[in-house]
Amino acid sequence: MIRIILDTDLAMGAPGSDIDDGFALALAHADPDIRIELVTTVNGNTDVESATLLGLELAERLGATSIPIVMGASAPLLRPDRARRAPGGIRERYGHRSPQPGHAAEKIVELVMANPGEITVVAIGPLTNIAVAMSLDPGFAAAVKEIVIMGGIFLGQTNKAEMPGEFNVWVDPEAASAVLHSGAQLRWVGLDVTMRVRLSREDAGALSAGTGSFAPFAGEYTAAWIDFLAAANPGDTSQADSCAMHDPLAVAVLTRPELVTWRDAHVDIVTGEGLARGVMVADLLTSEHPPAANCRIAVDVDAEAFRAHFLGTIARL
């Protein structure tokens, strides 16, 4: 049994919102070899308050209300002025639920330090909570079993001048840099592989035809997200009829590491403001005197095997 903390900027359930965090929570909940011991939320795809309220709603829909959900960082480490609050509509619809008391980083530290070598952190949003946890306890990096991160791009570029780094890293590159230099065991699942695992409009229709409490809901929001992406990216034909399952792949590799090809690397990040904010520089250790590896990165994926695992699991929910 793999015991995990899922750290997420979940947005599924908000109109026109990103959906893959919600699918990641559902996949982790449905996998019999994973036990979610804590869900923490972070500012990213949406504000942290919305992520928390939507996470509570989704946990109820999944029958997972026993999992504690704790709210975390409302803004990037060096940008406290970027904190946002939930829109009125989210509060009105979902505000009748409350998260567990406390702060995400504190609860992450408590659980990891009480169970050294036993807890895997799966970080599928910006890494603000994880960086704060490392600052709170200098023993955290050695005590956590592993941190599996959906983030980064290592073998290519985003090809977007307004967001040169992958989103989760670009939002808080200082936090990502702190995690990279912590000495913790790290596996990164980035856009090099996640852009290749996708749900189509046909998949959304099949989920919508399901009879469970999650699949029809997820199918509806998948179709809406594909519509949003198509309208927002008219010059990208890959976004017209499908959407990437970034975060679920980071969950899937916990119990099926063979879905991706891993490679040791030394990675660093461009921090601060400027043209290259959030860009990751990956040394693949091919020189005569390479730097020491500080993580493993995913460089290839068996997209069809992931698709079979993902759809076969989600369709039952």
162: CB partners within 8 A, 6+ apart = none
The H or E element spanning position 152 is none
> Tokens for 61?
């829909």
Instruction: Look at residue 27 and give its three-state secondary structure.
Output: helix
How far is CA 127 from each of CA 44, 152, 261, 302, rounded to the nearest angstrom? 10, 11, 23, 26
Which amino acid is it at 223? A
The residue from 29, 96, 181, 246 that is catalytic is 246
Which amino acid is it at 168? N
Q: From start to end of the chain, where are the E strands? A: 2-8, 34-41, 69-71, 119-123, 146-150, 186-189, 198-200, 242-244, 260-269, 280-283, 295-301
CB 86 within 8 A of CB 47: yes
Q: How many CA atoms lie within 13 A of 255 on its CB side?
A: 19
Pairing relationship of beta strands 260-269 and 295-301 according to DSSP bridges: antiparallel
| Distance in angstroms (rounded) separating the CA atoms of residues 219 and 204 | 4
> Tokens for 19?
């959906």
CB 141 within 8 A of CB 182: yes
| Distance in angstroms (rounded) separating the CA atoms of residues 194 and 27 | 15
Residues in the chain, total:
317
> For this structure, is 181 an active site residue?
no
CB 208 within 8 A of CB 219: yes
| Distance in angstroms (rounded) separating the CA atoms of residues 75 and 81 | 7
List active site positions.
Answer: 246
